[in-house]
Structure 1
Amino acid sequence: MGWHNGCIRCMVGVPVASVIATVLCFAGVALFCGCGHEALSGTEKLIETYFSKNYQEYEYLIHVVNAFQYAIYGIAIFFFLFGILLLAEGFYTTTAIKHILGEFKPHAIKGGLISTVTGGPPKSRGPRSRHPVHTLELLCRCLGRWLGHPDKFVGVTYAVTILWILIFACSAVPVYIYFNTWVTCQSIAVPAKTSAGISNLCADARMYGILPWNSFPGKVCGTSLLAICKTSEFQMTFHLFIAAFVGAGATLVALLTYMIGASFNYAVLRVTGRSDRKF
């Protein structure tokens, strides 16, 4: 029954916070990467179609967009591996803490063996009661050599969280730009909402640094801008950026949850004097 003990040792005391954070992290990263990738492609198409007719004027923009899209692939791979690693750490450290605090009760096993998760190896009543170690138990022991160090995971998670806060702030920029354009279109559609003339209401891509100042036309005004806002490309790109921003926010919440959980586990190990012990 060695496999049973190994399974209990690895799985008992499920870290609810880590599980929720992992699901939230995967969902947030999927939204951010998938929607962000398509939104960048939509932005590139809008610039090419309506704001500049010279390829050299937005060539640099295309290179930047392509670089961000490749970075998105890397972000997706990193968070997939990082989320799995943090989830495994949550399982292992939570089990170790309950081991220390003695929250696991003895479990009776057939064949005259009585083993506990908190105790050492199973006590045997006879030489024939030994059983071969199961593969799952070997896997748990292998993971234990790499996990059980919440202090390291706290530091790494802090660094990743700080970097992600910057990405979260950057993801708000295109939402702000598209929202301003949408508000301008609403003013054009209902002239009574503004005292300015319709021809003076414009969306200028140059003022946001998207295009150089010598780009032509660089901006679209009046009814031409309203026509752009009504296109499916603009509406879809706007909503995709919003979804990417929401995904970035969900990922940030997941990272904060990871960080709080890892900090709590480390604090418990420090209080119990086991922070340097390998479980």
Structure 2
Amino acid sequence: MKPAMETAAEENTEQSQEKKGCFECCIKCLGGVPYASLVATILCFSGVALFCGCGHVALTGTVSILEQHFSTNTSDHALLSEVIQLMQYVIYGIASFFFLYGIILLAEGFYTTSAVKELHGEFKTTACGRCISGMFVFLTYVLGVAWLGVFGFSAVPVFMFYNIWSSCEVIKSLQTNMTASGDQICVDIRQYGIIPWNAIPGRACGPVLENICNTNEFYMSYHLFIVACAGAGATVIALLIYMMATTYNYAVLKFKSREDCCTKF
């Protein structure tokens, strides 16, 4: 029979070893988490959701504003309506694609990071595994450049709505100070090329322009376009993080494969 104190000491030793084993296991698992890819995925999902959701509603409000105030003839903006409807369908496709692509990149980040840290995933150090990683690097670079164009394109309606809003602020300032009449301050939408030059009325001046700025459609569309532009910018940042993470992992895997090759000989 062992003394009670020796038995208790052995039990405490076993418990401490179990705790140490669980702690080491947790540290090992946390070491395989691709934090850069995780942050990029969250940022990408948020940016795409803001861009697609706000952009879709803002485009609908823009058509309503044009039909009511700048182009009363349906034939003048028929082509624009079709283009906007097509853009809304494209937005659906973008949202679906990036939801799937973000999940794939996150999974690839988990697998590659585990292989880099030598936890598991020897497939990544093979030629086929490196080829798949290189494909993701190239595709992410292409998507990053494409989203730079999307970000620039999304800034165009923000610029247009800002010009209208600033003109309305000038009219309000003139009315408040009673220095001059704002009837001569106009905004001509035809100069942006979204409706033809023969569209009627095509422009709004003075009180008519001020009333447009006070509508809910203008207020909502203006702010939604700003949020959509910010979402596109967030997506660009997320893809830049993806680029850095995937490029680094690919370089490390390529170095490890050469190191393993040299070690065999």
TM-score bin (small chain): 0.7 to 0.9
Residue 231 of structure 1 corresponds to: 215
Taking the aligned partners of 2:167 and 2:83, their CA distance within structure 1 comes to: 27
Output one character per residue of 1:237-270: Cα deviation in whole Å (capped at 9) or x when no partner: 1001011001101111100000000011111122
Q: Alpha-carbon deviation of 1:214?
A: 0.5
Residue 112 of structure 1 corresponds to: none
**What is the aligned residue count?**
232
CA RMSD of aligned residues (A): 2.9
Q: Does the alignment pair 1:56 with 2:56?
A: no
Residue 154 of structure 2 corresponds to: 171
Percent identical pairs in the alignment equals 49
Instruction: Give the letter aligned to residue 94 of structure 1.
Output: T
Output one character per residue of 1:209-228: Cα deviation in whole Å (capped at 9) or x when no partner: 11100011000011110111
Give the direction of change, closer, same or farther, for the CA distance of 1:169–1:267 in structure 2 (3 Å limit): same
Q: Does the alignment pair 1:201 with 2:185?
A: yes
Residue 252 of structure 1 corresponds to: 236
Q: Alpha-carbon deviation of 1:274?
A: 5.1
Residue 185 of structure 1 corresponds to: 168
Residue 126 of structure 1 corresponds to: none
CA contact under 8 A between 1:37 and 1:69: conserved in structure 2? yes
More helix by share: 2
Gaps in structure 1 of 5+ consecutive residues: 1-7, 105-116, 121-140
Give the direction of change, closer, same or farther, for the CA distance of 1:56–1:158 in structure 2 (3 Å limit): same
Taking the aligned partners of 1:17 and 1:252, their CA distance within structure 2 comes to: 15
| Match for residue 106 of structure 2 among 74, 79, 87 | 87
Residue 204 of structure 2 corresponds to: 220
Taking the aligned partners of 1:174 and 1:31, their CA distance within structure 2 comes to: 16
The normalised TM-score by structure 2 is 0.80
Helix, strand or coil: the match of 2:187?
Answer: strand
Taking the aligned partners of 2:92 and 2:258, their CA distance within structure 1 comes to: 39
Helix, strand or coil: the match of 2:32?
Answer: coil
CA contact under 8 A between 1:204 and 1:218: conserved in structure 2? yes
CA contact under 8 A between 1:153 and 1:262: conserved in structure 2? yes
CA contact under 8 A between 2:31 and 2:117: conserved in structure 1? no
Output one character per residue of 1:16-40: Cα deviation in whole Å (capped at 9) or x when no partner: 0100110110011000000000000
Instruction: Give the letter aligned to residue 164 of structure 1.
Output: W
Helix, strand or coil: the match of 1:227?
Answer: helix
Q: Alpha-carbon deviation of 1:145?
A: 11
Residue 15 of structure 1 corresponds to: 34
Taking the aligned partners of 2:156 and 2:140, their CA distance within structure 1 comes to: 25
Output one character per residue of 1:170-228: Cα deviation in whole Å (capped at 9) or x when no partner: 00000000011100000000018999852221111100011100011000011110111
